[in-house]
Structure 1
Amino acid sequence: MKLLRYGPAGQEKPGLLDASGTIRDLSGVVPDIAGDVLSPEGLKKLAALDPASLPAAPAGVRIGPPTSGMKNLVCIGLNYADHAAETGAPVPKEPIVFLKSLGALAGPNDDVIIPKNSVKTDWEVELCIVIGTKAKCVSEEQALDHVAGYAVGNDVSEREWQIERGGSWDKGKGCDTFGPVGPWLVTRDEVPDPQNLSMFLEVDGKRMQNGSTRTMIFGVKTIVSYVSHMITLHPGDVIFTGTPPGVGLGLKPPVFLKAGQSMRLGIEGLGEQTQRTVAYEG
């Protein structure tokens, strides 16, 4: 299944995408794509529905982040061997874990706001893991049992704030709109091998990233297990799993985003996002 949330920001309704590409309204069935709805039992109930029996959403409606009620927006850094190489960083011996502010969460096609005084805002297409059931100190063998599915993410990053201004990476990662996720959550049964998915990102129509989850250093099972030993993961939580090469920081000379540009990105079987960059106004 492809589950999603649609409507104005803060007023999203639950939905699913049917085989014809029509968004079907689930608000008469479940209150939101959150909590127990993401459990194996909850997903089984949704899978048993006849999509044709559900009302269609209005055409052209905004799509929001695919889950609600999350407690954690977790990220893994330098998790692709080829991306580590382009940045000149050593391959990590353990996953690098950092957090985005929940305020960074955005819909897949929402505008990305270039922060005030930013000079090095960058792009990163990433596979996102969506947690379905609470995970605390789980083994790698148990890890996928706690995964509801996967989604496309853009780990937008301000590199000067992340790297050059001291402290943790978080300050360059958690800005408003820096975490677009979606367009939908694709349930785990439709992604038999999350370690073999092609992915891309374009800026103003120019292909910048071409990669595959095959080059991830730490795979989905390892990431979920590892993070669960430090942070209790809850239904609806999202884990960004790292990016392949082709980010602006890695180009020679580096290239960064400016207001008025567009990004288009996608992952095989998980859909695409399109964002416009806009200047901060305030």
Structure 2
Amino acid sequence: MYKKEDWQPMDATLKALSAKAHWVRKEMFRLHQREPETRIASSLSPIEMLTALYYGDLLKFDPKDPHWPGRDRLILSKGHGVISIYPILADVGFFPVSELEKIGGTDTFLSAIPDAIIPGFETTNGSLGHGVGVGCGMALALRAQKSESQVIVINGDGEMNEGSVWEGIMFAGHHGLDNLMLIIDDNKYSMLGAQKRVMGLDPMAKKLEAFGWNVVEMDGHDMAATHQSLKQIWNVRDGRPRAVISHTVKGVGVPELLDNDLCHVSTLKSERVAEILADLEAQEPKGDA
């Protein structure tokens, strides 16, 4: 969604969103092929939610004016999933698509961990556990300014093990920051392995509700359910911060990454990426993206 008065809403039909998510997935694999240091498994799980946010007539932004005061602030706290958002930022116009080909080089701002110098990024991300706290500060400031903008923080479920995250959750609930939304990429694995063994978070929804949050859950790989769930809670302002638990699969679509304790740091060889890209090309949705 753009700020200009003559902006045209993007085609948010399910067919268009699904085609766009497919395109993002292909571009993401190409980025991993160019820069193997990127985290492929972590980047596969949030594709649908990011597609819905940027192409589903939800997020307010202006690529020609990245610091437009009326924008919504999106914080990708799980910075290791960044190659799922690089193609989107280029596609909507924050920087040229050709920049994607330079990832990892010395002549680009694109790397395995995002930096605030990247057009479209609000914060430097990499050290986990800070997104919610920073988001709380932004939300509190926006409310003081009587702004209609909101703050969206995307966390990984492994990041939810950080105590600082729960301090922010408690703060947001206490102060009724209903202009803050936390989307949790609940893909069941962290860097140390399966979450249920490392530090189980269930029942996550009840924990958040106990801190005064309005919580919804969704199938994060169902494009229709993802868009509808986000759309349904997007403009809710009932005095409670909002949380969306997105149930996803880490490494979805790549068999060797599934149920793999080391999937977080796994790198796919260039030849394997080429095979996956060939399969994705064969599955190309009909119609324009």
Which structure dedicates a bigger proportion of its chain to strand?
A: 1
Question: Would you tell me which structure has more helix in proportion to its own residues?
Answer: 2
TM-score by length of 1: 0.24
